Amino acid sequence: MKEVPENDRPREKIAKKGVLTLSDTELVEAILGRGVKDRDVRAIARDITAFLGDRSGEVRYEDILSINGIGPSKAAQIVASLELGRRCYQEPAAAIVKKPEDVLPLVAPYRDKQQEHFICISMTGAGEVIRSRVVTIGILNHSLVHPREVFAEAITDRAASVICVHNHPSGSLDASPQDIAITRQLSEAGALLGIQLLDHIIVTKGGYSSLKEQGLL
């Protein structure tokens, strides 16, 4: 972990940016703290994350102990953390966005609006939706948006990434030159802020188009 820049180390990221900005693997790294003589903590964390991702139901102490690089103390830390989370976090699971279609239920009210609405969806490092909000409302089919308006609330949310969505009242799913330009501006601004723009999606009553899937992001 010493070769990793300090700002990218999981525990330092928690202190500076909040726990929601960490990926699943980084969360495991933060719990473990360090690796062992023959295995880096990141390699061990990846194995644990992969195991948990393939697992449904109870995770046993013996299961974690069988992972290369994990001893009794670390195995106990992991299963204790999982159980504490299970006991404390009983709220309904947050929506998770893995593909453009997953965004559609979040923006359904805006797909047939007669004015253009620009929406920002802020997310955690695990792809869980923190909040979806309208950033600007345009006149007819024209909406101007500035990166500061998009990222101001995302910073407050301590988001790890965002997805931007806007509707086309005209019904066209083609990205305009302005759509492409603002997408690039947002991507560049997000890179500077450490908040990745994952996609920019255009929606209409009849469908959607993803600028990322079109190679425009």
| pLDDT recorded at residue 211 | 96
Chain-wide mean pLDDT for the chain? Answer: 87
Is the pLDDT reported for residue 104 higher than 80? yes
* Assigned domain for 106 exists: yes
Residues 113 and 152 in one domain: yes
Among candidate residues 60, 88, 116, the one where a domain is terminated: 88
Residues 83 and 38 in one domain: yes
Give the integer Cα–Cα distance in Å for 166 and 134. 9
Is the pLDDT reported for residue 7 higher than 80? no
Amino acid at 173: L
Give the integer Cα–Cα distance in Å for 27 and 24. 5
**pLDDT tens, position by position, 120-134:** 999 998 889 999 999
Percent of the chain with pLDDT over 70: 90
Answer for the pair 206, 104: CB distance below 8 angstroms, yes or no.
no
* Assigned domain for 215 exists: no
The residue range of the domain holding 160 is 100-210
Among candidate residues 40, 65, 88, the one where a domain is terminated: 88
Terminal Cα-to-Cα distance of the chain (whole angstroms)? 31
Nearest to 17 by CA among 31, 28, 6, 25: 6
| pLDDT recorded at residue 5 | 52
| pLDDT recorded at residue 139 | 56
Higher pLDDT, 137 or 215: 215
* Assigned domain for 76 exists: yes
